[in-house]
């Protein structure tokens, strides 16, 4: 039985993968079981921002795994403090709470925001409200899908928790109109990823920061995908020179080899947690802390933020120069680009399949947008290699 058939036989069908079986990968290249190489233009939704099998990450992982991996937070380790110290340093915030997955970090942020609302803003018990954006994607837990505007994420998974208000993304006035005395937080992605790499209007985050300050509302940003260099800055909100009250991180924090996430916030916000109020068996374990610390060091010392800005400008320019009747819009920031296709001609999934046949790994979202998010280590020559094939695929649609 071949790998794809076996996987379909024993795996719940919650994904619809492209028809390729990957065997190994290094840097920006992956190889399938037939020995064919592919340029990875997805990097596992930013989880592999440092590239596959980064030697420094693998070395740190092997050394730490052989020494001490998991003890739970029932005990101290010599690594958690240094890891979170570095994390608060690069974020410009005060304290952090380590978790495993991005969704867990979002759940942590929701709990923190609600408790802050009750203890600091004095919102009446069980009346706290959080404003979120339409077309958001913050994870797959039942709480999170409960405030999704995508019906397919919600279907037959209810009943859902209340306390969330949906407003259009990129519209500050809509948020202002939604704020009440019970509003404790605004939770948004500074750039919407799953929605199709949607960049809000210039000044949106600055205006939102001012609005939250005016009404004593927390501004919590989900930068699980956009953070840690993806957009050409350490964090996407830095393009508008603001400081959130809470920041949700994950994916690239694990160096492409291990699930590591964190919720980082101001001292006041993080003070709402006390022993027993939140936890995770694996969250903040020694192996995760060592990998996370090394991932931050690699991003900084190899100047991957600067590289993302430079290579991102180049990739965006090349994509915008393409001649194709199926391209409706090219948008993005740094090495994070969405190409919206004309679905009256072809679906984005069909374009993904064609790119796969030409040795380029990508993934569509909602059948309308093709995403390009290569490892931040990608070179100009590797972009050129990929663009030659991308242009070839898109040019075939010209009539």
Query: Which residues are annotated as catalytic?
Result: 137, 222, 251
- Phi, psi angles (nearest 5°) of residue 99: -135, -160
């Amino acid at each position: 039985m071949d790998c794809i058939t076996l996987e379909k036989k024993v795996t719940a069908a919650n994904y619809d993968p492209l028809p390729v079986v990957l065997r190994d990968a290094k840097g920006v290249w992956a190889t399938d079981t037939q020995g064919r190489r592919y340029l990875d233009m997805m990097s596992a939704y930013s989880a592999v921002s440092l590239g596959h099998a980064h030697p420094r990450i693998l070395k740190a992982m092997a050394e730490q795994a052989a020494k001490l991996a998991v003890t739970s937070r029932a005990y101290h380790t010599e690594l958690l403090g240094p890891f979170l110290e570095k994390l608060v340093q690069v974020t410009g915030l005060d304290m952090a709470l380590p978790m495993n997955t991005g969704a867990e970090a979002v759940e942590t942020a929701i709990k923190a925001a609600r408790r802050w609302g009750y203890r600091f803003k004095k919102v009446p018990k069980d009346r706290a409200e959080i404003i979120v954006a339409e077309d958001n994607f913050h994870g797959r837990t039942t709480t999170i899908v409960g405030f999704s505007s995508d019906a397919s994420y919600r279907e037959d998974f209810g009943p859902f928790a209340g306390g969330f208000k949906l407003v259009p993304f990129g519209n500050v006035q809509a948020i202002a109109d939604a704020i009440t005395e019970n509003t404790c937080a605004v939770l948004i992605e500074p750039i919407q990823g799953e929605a199709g790499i949607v960049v809000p209007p210039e000044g949106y985050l600055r205006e939102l920061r001012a609005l939250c300050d005016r009404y004593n509302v927390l501004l919590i940003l989900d930068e699980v995908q956009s953070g840690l260099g993806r957009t050409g800055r350490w964090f996407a909100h830095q393009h508008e020179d603001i400081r959130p009250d809470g920041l949700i991180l994950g994916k690239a924090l694990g160096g492409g080899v291990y699930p590591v996430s964190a919720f980082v916030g101001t001292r006041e916000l993080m003070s709402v947690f006390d022993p027993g109020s939140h936890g995770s068996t694996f969250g903040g374990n020694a192996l995760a802390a060592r990998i996370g610390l090394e991932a931050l060091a690699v991003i900084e010392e190899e100047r991957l933020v600067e590289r993302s800005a430079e290579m991102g400008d180049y990739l965006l320019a090349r994509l915008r120069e393409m001649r194709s009747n199926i391209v409706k819009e090219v948008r993005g920031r740094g090495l994070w680009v969405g190409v919206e296709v004309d679905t009256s001609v072809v679906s984005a999934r069909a374009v993904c399949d064609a790119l796969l046949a030409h040795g380029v790994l990508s993934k569509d979202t909602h059948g309308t947008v093709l995403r390009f998010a290569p490892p931040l280590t990608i070179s100009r020559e590797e972009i050129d290699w990929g663009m030659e094939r991308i242009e070839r695929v898109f040019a075939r649609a010209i009539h």
